[in-house]
Amino acid sequence: MGFFWISLLIALLLWGIAEASYWATNGVPIVRNISEIHEDNYGRLGLSHITIAGSVMHGFKEVEVWLQTFAPGTRTPIHRHSCEEIFVVLKGSGTLYLASNSHKNYPGSPQEFPIFANSTFYVPVNDAHQVWNTNEHEDLQFLVIISRPPVKVFIYDDWFMPHTAAKLKYPYYWDEKCCQSSPVKDEL
């Protein structure tokens, strides 16, 4: 091989290594501008959801990160999931409703926790909960980190609905478009 071809080969190899360092799992760039990541309300008025790092969307395996904004008065459904979940409140205020008595066969009356900008809170695995923007004037915005993605959500009509009657929503709204369903069991 001539000098030209060897040089070309080396250049291509170096280019490949350099390129690889800019792209992680499934071709996701290492650094991204959050303002340019897809945002949607997934059919829920007053919600803005961005999957910053997703299992189904980007191929992350251990954790998933969302940026969510709830308009005044809007809330999550009452729900549970068998993963760890940590919130970091960036803006606004609201209320966390949390029913820790999962030893009963229904959630029961929840405890109320005020949440506020710069607060952080977590939801124990499988505890039924609801996050509500109870502030009439301001958006409530937080980062959400969950383990064991993709999330498998069981939704309750009210706090006295039996755990066994909660409806599984899987794949969840933001995973729905790209997720091929696989069998999943009730993990409570």
Q: In degrees, to the nearest 5, what angle opens at C-alpha 51 toward C-alphas 48 and 57? A: 135
Please report which residue ranges of 129-187 form alpha helices under DSSP H: 173-176
Count of chain residues binding ligand NAG (CB under 6 A): 5
117 lines the binding site for ligand NAG (CB under 6 A):
yes
38 vs 185, beta carbon nearer ligand NAG? 38
Q: Among 184, 139, 176, 178, which Cα is nearest to 43's?
A: 176
| Structural tokens at position 137 | 């004037």
Helix, strand, coil shares, percent, the chain, to 5:
20, 35, 45
The 10 Å Cβ neighbour count of residue 38 is: 9
Is 85 a known ligand-binding residue? yes
33 lines the binding site for ligand NAG (CB under 6 A):
yes
| Structural tokens at position 47 | 């919600």
9 vs 117, beta carbon nearer ligand NAG? 117
Is 81 a known ligand-binding residue? yes
CB of 36 to ligand NAG, least distance (A): 5
DSSP H or E stretch at residue 111: strand 111-116
CB of 92 to ligand NAG, least distance (A): 9
Q: How far apart are CA 182 and CA 180, in angstroms?
A: 7
CB of 61 to ligand NAG, least distance (A): 27
The pattern of x and - marking residues 36 through 75 that bind ligand NAG according to CB under 6 A reads: x---------------------------------------
118 vs 182, beta carbon nearer ligand NAG? 118
118 lines the binding site for ligand NAG (CB under 6 A):
yes
Q: Give contact residues for ligand NAG (rule: CB under 6 A).
A: 33, 35-36, 117-118
Query: Annotated binding site for Zn(2+): which residue ranges?
Result: 79, 81, 85, 129
